[in-house]
Structure 1
Amino acid sequence: MSLDDAAEELASTLGVDKTEVKADLEKLVSYSVPMDEAKQSLRRKYGDGGPSGGGTPSETDIADITPESGNVTVSARVLTVGKRSIQYEGDEQIIFEGELADESGRISYTAWNDFSLSSGDTITAGNAGVREWDGEPELNLGGSTTVTVREDPLEVPYPVGGERDLIELEAGDRGRTIEVRVLDVERRTIDGRDGETEILSGEVGDETTRLPFTDWAPHDELTEGASVRLADVYVDEFRGVPSVNVTEFSSVAPVAAVDVSDSATELSVREAVASGGVYDVLLTGNVIEVRDGSGLIQRCPECGRVVQNDQCRTHGQVDPEDDLRVKAILDDGTDTVTAILDRELTAEVYGGTLEDALEHARDEMNRDVVADRIATRLEGRAYRVRGSLSVDEYGANLNASEFAESDADPEARAAAFLAEVKG
């Protein structure tokens, strides 16, 4: 059977548009999927028939949906609705996304058509596709999906609407609304999907925590010190922590002054590492080693990466610039992280400026003397380190914003550690 005949047969059986079925069939066959298997896959996708093939699938509880569910029909409450633009197969596509919930559970969704969804709506979505996203099932509401708004609201055990505090945000959230103060903002130009793109980036905060943000369609209201309500933002991951993304579809409105917490989240090292990353965290532990790559280092003048023998991995032979850095292993008895101190913090623990360190190295005819002095002053002492923790294949690294010797009672710290181990 030719591909055209197969598409004609499926379209007639399923009661859907032949052009759409043929495009799906061509794609599957192009991936070397056997024709019979491809046809069966499309029968599952379109629900084994439209008006002439037995109707839509029977209704499914959200808790029972898996990535292998094929197409389903669900009745659910719309928890959140977000809107953004993505690149799909080379074209710009406007999508709507968020979460749906019933009494059994909740699930994320992507709507490829505008179904005029609003938070709080109770809907029945018929013939919704299911795909796997980040290891979890996600509903796809497309051209073959029917969406009916029901008058009787479905009661669900989940909050309706996108209002959240920063501490509640997680990577993957869509359609969120937050009230924050802009703590830091920078306008810069990057190479975006449409060439050079101007964006805003920086840090926002509220009473619960602080997080990085990026505004992909710079809003004039986002100035340092401004308190704003950001509606319809999405959250992705930046260096292991949630990052707020503002788009052309987000609304930005001024609000009364938002209080921002001056304190960081205080955790044990083990808790912090297990979290996968924390943007603003406070850790206390002993410096057990100052690692190689500390003291006087040299960076590429183009990209800022550390270079060896005047060679940058990206830019090749360069004329490097001198800098100061500390990479210290911090251990609190539960786990370890590498605390990374920038030039300013390194100068404080070294006891002199970059120029002082260069003169010290020239006098001794050895650049290692700077790291040796730092190690003598740090190793074996307890410190409180505040900063942004990222956890990846390279380990757990804490980029320090504050670094101070701890005044905590060593016996009290030891007792607390033993209690945690025994607990």
Structure 2
Amino acid sequence: MVKEKYSDLISVILQECPDADEEEIGLEFERYEKEFLIPPEDAVRSVLRKFQISSGVEVENSSAQPSRIEKKVERFSELDADDKNVTIEVSVVNYNPRVQKVRGEDRQIAFGWIEDRPWNASSERERWEFKDWGQKNETLIPGSIVRLEGVSVNEWNGKKSININQTSRVTIVKEGIAESITISSEPLTINRAIENEGFVDLVARIISVKPDKIVRRDGSGEIEIFRGVLADLTGSTGFLSWKKLEFEQGDLIKIKGASVRKFRDTPEINFNDGTIIEIYHDSEFASLEELANKSKKKIADLRNGMKGISITLQVESWNERKFIGNDGEEKIVRSGDVMDPTGRCRLTAWCEINPSEGDFVHLEGARVQYWQGSPDLVIDDLEQVTNLSDQPWDKIDPENHWIQVELSELVNGGSRRGIETSGTIVSVRNDSGIIERCSECRRVLRENNCPEHGDQIGEEDLRLRFVVDNGISNASLLMAKESAEEFLGMKMQAVKDEISKSGRMEFVTELRNKCLSRKVSIRGRSIVDDQGAMILSDITNFSDIDPKKYGKKIMEKWGLVI
């Protein structure tokens, strides 16, 4: 078996040492791989030297030989299958450690994905697998950019990968946001498992599971899958199984070799053919009822891409709309605004449900998709909805339902509606004032041109743009026409007349004199994405004292005259 595994490498040794025993050569390669964690391809020189010496062949002193030439590259495409001593900067996508027994001792190896040209856009990068034989877990942190020195290329079945050896050097060029990987053979908690993409082992209880189907991209048919929710005391997450599951709701299972993938903004655990799933027995593990209650979501918890959501809501408004689908048939979609004590969002139903204003409903298996930048709950089946006769909380007044959220929490969380926050205005954008929008898509025109519809005769609108800061975090603040008119205390036509008379920059200068360094209270909704946080204001008011009025008051108090 050893001879077959290392047959290609054994033949290389036999060319130089024809009298050597094939079985002994194979065992030597196995020893280097298991005891020293050195890939067989990188051990050829050492194995050859050993058998040359044992057969009486004169061997040159290695110290007299020139060192291998370093090969510096920027792209994986520049590497050949036999390249050694390679230097390259890469971005670490994930790092998946494994602890295995070797001759009674725990040995660590790890594997994952890395991308070349880490300073370029992700669309311009190439992704390769790597294997870490040198316990570099403290430097190969997901999200970081590192310089690899002294690594080698491995090729198997025409697919190349990188070997990071014990002698390789890994230097952090830019730190990632994740913590260094802790090497352990123990299963991870759910909260720990979903921090990064990669392979994980975990123990969890099935909160829900149901069969589903996915249509193939080429339209050639459907793929049967299973969806559901897993939970432990640290949290819950959705899962997607590409293989048949013979487990039921409430089963406690041990999972080995699952993969974590992000769907939109939400991590999801994937089971494939290589994933091992088995019933696990632990009398102290939390019960289904306890975990189901902990797994219930609130509006503040919603993120784009979530599935299998259990949530209770109060209906604020409800309506239905008819439209013609792509198949030419008339369809009905029902939607409305819903609330809970943590905020508000939209609910869209592709089934016949007609709640009244003020009704309480409980949803099971709902999903989240973004609508105008904010989370939108979606249900597809009437069985997902339960009307509640008992009120879970005192009825919320929609007119006064604003959730106080610190600016830092807002910036570091997800998009939300119905929030109230505060901050200090630290910047007023030059494009504040009268703008022109495309009459078709409402985008702002640049030199009378719309990126989508070309040259346009624009429709005038009023918009103010600021940056607010609380000393820790900052966000863009945008006021549309109604909010801007109320904030300025003047109508759009008056703003237009002032700009026509004095010029835009004079208007912006006056706005800066009035607003900079002033603290404001903001009500509206937030949009948080990769580009940062933006608050769309419904109402914005100054919450501090006007410096001029305060100064005048002090002067009057002390009888000062300037």
CA distance in 2, matches of 1:249, 1:224: 18
Q: Which amino acid aligns with 1:140?
A: F
Cα separation, partners in 2 of 1:333 and 1:324, compared to 1, 3 Å: same
What is the identity, as a one-letter code, of the residue corresponding to 1:165? K
- In structure 2, what residue type is equivalent to 1:334? I
Q: Does 1:260 align with 2:421?
A: no
Query: 1:325 aligns to what?
Result: 463
Give the alignment partner of residue 292 of structure 2, picking from 122, 142, 160: 160
3-state DSSP of counterpart to 1:253? strand
Q: C-alpha separation between the residues in 2 aligned to 1:404 and 1:314?
A: 35
Structure 1 residue aligned with 2:340: 206
In structure 2, relative to structure 1, the CA distance for the partners of 1:69 and 1:225 (3 Å cut) is closer
Q: Secondary structure at the match of 2:353?
A: coil
Q: Which amino acid aligns with 1:159?
A: L
How far residue 301 of structure 1 moved from its aligned partner, in angstroms, is 1.1
Cα distance in structure 1, aligned partners of 2:222 and 2:356 = 29
> What amino acid is the match of 1:210?
R
Q: Structure 1 residues 276, 86: closer, same or farther in 2, change over 3 A? A: same
C-alpha distance in structure 2 between counterparts of 1:150 and 1:308, whole Å: 62
Which residue pairs with 1:344 in the alignment?
Answer: 482
- For residues 59-111 of structure 1, the C-alpha deviation after alignment (integer angstroms, 9 at most, x for no partner) is 984559897659x8x87521233666544434555643233357999764213
Query: CA offsets per residue over residues 268-296 of structure 1, 9 Å max, x none?
Result: 43332233544443222222332122111
For 1:396, give the aligned amino acid.
A
Q: Residues 91-110 of structure 1: matches in 2 within 5 Å?
A: 91=221, 93=223, 95-101=225-231, 108-110=238-240
Deviation at 1:337, TM superposition (A): 1.6
Name the SS for the 2:354 alignment partner: coil
SS of aligned partner of 1:131: strand
8 Å Cα contact 2:227/2:238 also seen in 1: yes
- The one-letter code of the counterpart of 1:339 is L
Q: In the alignment, what sits opposite 2:367? A: 234
The 5-angstrom pairing of residues 384-395 of structure 1 reads 384-395=521-532
Q: 2:450 aligns with which of 300, 312, 330?
A: 312
Code of the residue aligned with 2:313 in structure 1: it is V
Is 1:334 the counterpart of 2:467? The answer is no
Deviations along 1:300-332, whole A, 9 cap, x unmatched?
111111112211011111121111111112222
Please report the TM-score for the alignment, with normalisation by the length of structure 1: 0.65
What stretches of structure 1 of length at least 5 have no aligned partner?
1-32, 39-58, 411-423
Give the root-mean-square deviation of aligned CA atoms.
4.5
Are 1:383 and 2:520 counterparts?
Answer: yes
**Counterparts of 2:214 and 2:359, CA distance in 1:** 29
Tell me, what secondary structure is at the counterpart of 2:483? helix
CA shift for structure 1 position 384: 0.3
Distance in 2 (alpha carbons) for counterparts of 1:102 and 1:78: 9
Number of residue equivalences: 351
Question: 1:400 Cα shift?
Answer: 1.1
Instruction: Give SS of 1:352's match.
Output: coil
1:347 counterpart SS class = helix
Unaligned runs of 5+ in 2: 1-154, 161-184, 548-562
Structural mapping, 1:4-19, within 5 Å: none
Q: Provide the secondary structure at the position in 1 that maps to 2:291.
A: coil
Q: Quick one: which of 133, 141, 144 aligns to 2:261?
A: 133
TM-fit CA distance, 1:349: 2.2
The structure with higher relative contact order (CA 8 Å, sep 6+) is 1
**Cα distance per residue 1:202-242 (max 9 Å; x no partner):** 53211232234443x15432565443222211235667765
Report the counterpart of residue 287 of structure 1 in structure 2.
425
Q: Displacement, 1:350? A: 2.6
8 Å CA contact retained: 1:61, 1:104: no
Aligned partners of 1:327 and 1:341 also within 8 Å = yes
Confirm or deny: 8 A CA contact 1:221 1:252 kept in the other structure.
no
- Higher Cα Rg, which structure: 2
Matched, 1:80 2:204: no
Seen in structure 2, the aligned counterparts of structure 1 residues 67 and 359 have a Cα distance that, compared at 3 Å, is closer
Contact between 2:407 and 2:474, CA under 8 Å: does it hold in 1? yes
Q: More displaced, 312-321 or 289-298?
A: 289-298
Q: Secondary structure at the match of 2:487?
A: helix
Aligned residue in 2 for 1:251? 384
The letter of the residue matching 1:229 is: H
- Between the aligned partners of 2:282 and 2:203, the Cα distance in structure 1 is 11
Contact 1:337 1:396 (C-alpha < 8 Å) held by counterparts: yes
Alpha carbons of structure 1 residues 340 and 282: separation in structure 2 relative to 1, 3 Å: same
- For 2:309 and 2:237, the matched residues in 1 are separated by 16
Q: Which residue identity lines up with residue 311 of structure 2 in the other structure?
A: I
With over 3 angstroms needed to count, the CA separation of the structure-2 counterparts of 1:111 and 1:344, relative to structure 1, is same
Q: Is the 8 A contact 2:461 2:481 kept in 1?
A: yes
| 2:251 counterpart residue number | 121
| Residues 36 and 68 (structure 1), Cα distance of their counterparts in 2 relative to 1, 3 Å cut | farther
Q: CA deviation at 1:347?
A: 0.9
Q: Cα distance 1:343–1:173, how it changes in 2: closer, same or farther (>3 A)?
A: same
Q: Which amino acid aligns with 1:182?
A: V
Query: How far apart are the structure 2 equivalents of 1:104 and 1:299?
Result: 48
**Contact 2:411–2:532 under 8 Å retained in 1:** no
| SS, match of residue 159 in structure 1 | helix
